[in-house]
Amino acid sequence: MDLHLKDKSVIVLASSKGLGKAISTEFAKEGAKVLISSRSEAELEKAKAEIKEVSGNPNVEYQVCDVTNKTQIEQLVQKAVELHGTVDVLINNAGGPPAGTFDDFSDEDWQQAFELNLLSFTRTIREVLPSMKEQKSGKILNIASSSIKQTLDNLILSNTFRAGIVGLSKSLSQELAPDNILINTVGPGRIATDRVASLDQKRADQAGISAEEVREKAEQNIPIGRYGEPEEFAKAVVFLASGANTYLTGQSLVIDGGLVKAL
Ligand X SMILES: NC(=O)c1ccc[n+]([C@@H]2O[C@H](COP(=O)([O-])OP(=O)(O)OC[C@H]3O[C@@H](n4cnc5c(N)ncnc54)[C@H](OP(=O)(O)O)[C@@H]3O)[C@@H](O)[C@H]2O)c1
The binding site for ligand X (CB under 6 A) comprises 14-20, 38-40, 43, 65-68, 93-96, 116, 143, 145, 188, 190-191, 193-196
Q: How far is the CB of 261 from ligand X (least distance, A)?
A: 17
Q: How far is the CB of 1 from ligand X (least distance, A)?
A: 26
Q: How far is the CB of 191 from ligand X (least distance, A)?
A: 4
Q: How far is the CB of 111 from ligand X (least distance, A)?
A: 14
**Rounded distance between C-alpha atoms, residue 110 and residue 161, angstroms:** 9
* Residue placing its CB nearer to ligand X in the complex, 146 or 176: 146
* Residue placing its CB nearer to ligand X in the complex, 176 or 184: 184
- Report the candidate in 135, 43, 48, 54 with the shortest Cα–Cα distance to residue 89: 135
- Report the candidate in 23, 25, 143 with the shortest Cα–Cα distance to residue 94: 143
The residues near 126 (Cβ < 8 Å, ≥ 6 apart) are none
Work out the angle at residue 257's Cα, subtended by the Cα atoms of residues 190 and 188, and round it to the nearest 5 degrees.
40
* Residue placing its CB nearer to ligand X in the complex, 36 or 176: 36
Q: How far is the CB of 213 from ligand X (least distance, A)?
A: 18
**Rounded distance between C-alpha atoms, residue 83 and residue 79, angstroms:** 6
Report, in angstroms and rounded to the nearest whole number, the Rg of the chain calculated over CA atoms: 18
* Residue placing its CB nearer to ligand X in the complex, 16 or 55: 16
* Residue placing its CB nearer to ligand X in the complex, 30 or 256: 256
Q: How far is CA 134 from the centre of its chain?
A: 25
